[in-house]
Amino acid sequence: MSAQPVMTTIPVSPPVRKKWRYTPIFWLGLFLVVTVSVLALFAPVIAPFDPNALNLDAGLTKIFQPPSWEHWMGTDALGRDVFSRMLHGARVSLWVGFVSVGLASCIGVALGLLAGYYGGLVDEAIMRVVDIMLCFPSFFLILAVIAFLEPNLVNIMVIIGLTSWMGITRLVRAETLTLRERDFIAAARLAGAKPSRILLRHILPNALAPVLVSATLGIAGAILTESSLSFLGLGVQPPMASWGNMLLEGKQALGIAWWLSLFPGLAILLTALGYNLLGESLRDILDPRLSR
């Protein structure tokens, strides 16, 4: 009687799910971003005064008033409440950051998908345009364009968006070059899917991780660019409150009103720091390949 073979079962361990590590840097960046966003969103409710209202009824007593219980961040040369202007300036800075980065992301994603998927002449043409745009320093290119246009909020957002899409294009192109060789893309082609469906339904969702990271970091860059332009007098124009033009007003009275430069400078620093920390953390969480 022949012996029956012994069937052994090899234990199979359950699939290990990737755990996202939320570091203290991530929480610090998220806290700064959420705090600034909430203050900007509810600025009309939180602000105790009209940001553009002149307070000259009491003579010169309200001009250059230092921080007090009535005016938490003091007043400026026209008696306007600095805290109220800071809150409304946050709305301008975040609006510039989100709109300009959104415009740059749309352009960069579209061109990156086309260049990576089709290759050949399409890829060469798009990437040569990217190389030409990268030859010019972005800030000086923005200054050159602003010289021919009216410096207002809409023009600033559009110009920053149109001069900052190149990095996103290169990231999306690299991801598309990798994804188009994957088996699920080949299966979609065999199933008769059109290129537009493959790009939008299969490649784009898998290429969004670097776009999200780049957009988060880009918001900080856009806020710094807008503040720099406003500080030079080429950005948001008074009486609209902007952290950049508030710094310009503070520079002119630095010896007698230190608070006019301190608070806008801190706001720009903390906001840019928050988005940079959040972007760095998202890069480590979503796509470790992008980490330094």
pLDDT band (50, 70, 90) for residue 19: low
pLDDT tops 70 at residue 7: no
Question: Of the given ranges (15-19, 77-81, 142-146), which has the lowest mean pLDDT?
Answer: 15-19
pLDDT tops 80 at residue 91: yes
Tokens of 91: 């709305």
Averaged pLDDT score across all residues of the chain:
86
Question: Of the given ranges (4-8, 127-131, 190-194), which has the lowest mean pLDDT?
Answer: 4-8
Tokens of 153: 């909020």
pLDDT band (50, 70, 90) for residue 21: low
Give the tens place of pLDDT for each residue, 198-251.
Answer: 999 989 998 888 899 999 999 999 999 999 999 988 888 888 889 999 999 998
Predicted local distance difference test score (pLDDT) of residue 152:
84
Give 17 or 34, the one with higher predicted confidence. Answer: 34
Pairwise CA distance, residues 74 & 42, whole Å: 21
Predicted local distance difference test score (pLDDT) of residue 20:
56
String of b and e for 158-175 (b: at least 16 CB within 10 Å)? Answer: ebbbbbbbbbbbbbbbbb
Give 262 or 151, the one with higher predicted confidence. Answer: 262
Mean pLDDT calculated for residue range 77-84: 90
pLDDT tops 70 at residue 162: yes
pLDDT band (50, 70, 90) for residue 10: very low
Mean pLDDT calculated for residue range 66-86: 90
Give 143 or 31, the one with higher predicted confidence. Answer: 31
Here the contacts of 69-74 (C-beta below 8 Å, separation 24 or greater) are: 73/259, 73/263, 74/257, 74/259, 74/260
Give the tens place of pLDDT for each residue, 245-292.
Answer: 999 999 888 888 899 999 999 999 999 999 999 998 888 887 655 554
Percent of the chain past pLDDT 90, that is, above it, reads 50
Q: Count how many Cα atoms sit within 13 Å of the Cα of residue 270 in the half-sphere of its side chain.
A: 17
Whole-Å CA distances, 116 to 111, 133, 170, 180, 207: 8, 19, 9, 8, 11
User: In the chain, which ranges are continuous DSSP H helix?
Assistant: 24-41, 43-46, 82-118, 120-135, 138-146, 153-162, 166-179, 183-190, 195-197, 204-206, 208-231, 243-251, 259-286
Pairwise CA distance, residues 220 & 36, whole Å: 12
Residue 223 and residue 97 in contact, taking contact as beta carbons nearer than 8 Å: yes
Residue whose structure tokens are 């500080």? 231
pLDDT tops 60 at residue 59: no
Predicted local distance difference test score (pLDDT) of residue 226:
92
Mean pLDDT calculated for residue range 175-198: 89
Pairwise CA distance, residues 275 & 106, whole Å: 20
Residue 64 per-residue DSSP state? T
Pairwise CA distance, residues 150 & 156, whole Å: 9
Residue whose structure tokens are 């290169």? 170
pLDDT tops 70 at residue 2: no
pLDDT tops 90 at residue 16: no
